[in-house]
A and B are shown apart, each in its own frame.
Chain A
Amino acid sequence: DVKVTQSSRYLVKRTGEKVFLECVQDMDHENMFWYRQDPGLGLRLIYFSYDVKMKEKGDIPEGYSVSREKKERFSLILESASTNQTSMYLCASSFNRGLGEKLFFGSGTQLSVL
């Protein structure tokens, strides 16, 4: 079974802190994604990566950056956390691109910014 592991289930940070959310997948998937999930807003794509050292902006990249130095690891960085970044963050990976791009999700990180 594919495993997508997110480093923390719950995280509490202060406004202005730099925050790192880590995600690791163990199935040699090419593609990795970061979403945030908020009540009533569904899943919104922050950044994605189709290859090592490659990154592309999703629908809501403002205030975030990402790093993909190794194929299995995709990190989401909040340069200066703000209260409106309090959310559930979900990492996902997939093997195919486009048609058949079945996503495997991690368990999520609930981030609270105080």
Chain B
Amino acid sequence: GQQVMQIPQYQHVQEGEDFTTYCNSSTTLSNIQWYKQRPGGHPVFLIQLVKSGEVKKQKRLTFQFGEAKKNSSLHITATQTTDVGTYFCAGNSGNTPLVFGKGTRLSVIA
């Protein structure tokens, strides 16, 4: 079945450094979504990308969807302590349920 790989599993950064997490699918996706889970919290939807090569920004966060619609990335510029948490990508094809990556846990050292 469809698999979504996400790397790295963990990332520790100094506050102010940039951070990137990468997501790769074994199959072409119709859309990809990103979620953030704060420590002790539940996943919260951040954004959805549907078009090949799409780039979207939310303040310091930049999301990209690859040209082949099989990979995606989330980049955070100048991390802050409020960025701490686990970031999940999730994608699907057609009307199948979302398949989640294993997540990247971000720690920010002040």
Distance of A55 from chain B, by nearest CB (Å): 12
Bound: A97/B103 CA distance, A: 23
* Secondary structure call for the B interface: loop
> Does residue B94 face the partner (Cβ distance < 8 Å to A)?
yes
The residue on A at minimum CB distance from B43 is: A105
Number of contact residues on A: which range applies?
Answer: 20 to 34
Number of cross-chain contacts by CB at 8 Å: 56
> Does residue B1 face the partner (Cβ distance < 8 Å to A)?
yes
Contact: A106 with B42, CB < 8 Å? yes
Which A residues form the contact surface with B (CB < 8 A)?
A: 33, 35, 40-45, 48, 58-59, 90, 97-108
The stretch that binds A, out of B13-21, B44-52, B65-73, B75-83, is: B44-52
> Does residue B33 face the partner (Cβ distance < 8 Å to A)?
yes
Q: Which of A42, A44, A99, A105 has the most CB of B within 10 A?
A: A42
Given A42-B6, A97-B95, A105-B44, 5 other A-B residues pairs in contact with their CB atoms under 8 A: A43-B103, A48-B97, A90-B42, A99-B50, A107-B41
Encode B71-102 as 1/0 by CB contact (under 8 A) with A: 00000000000000000101010111111111
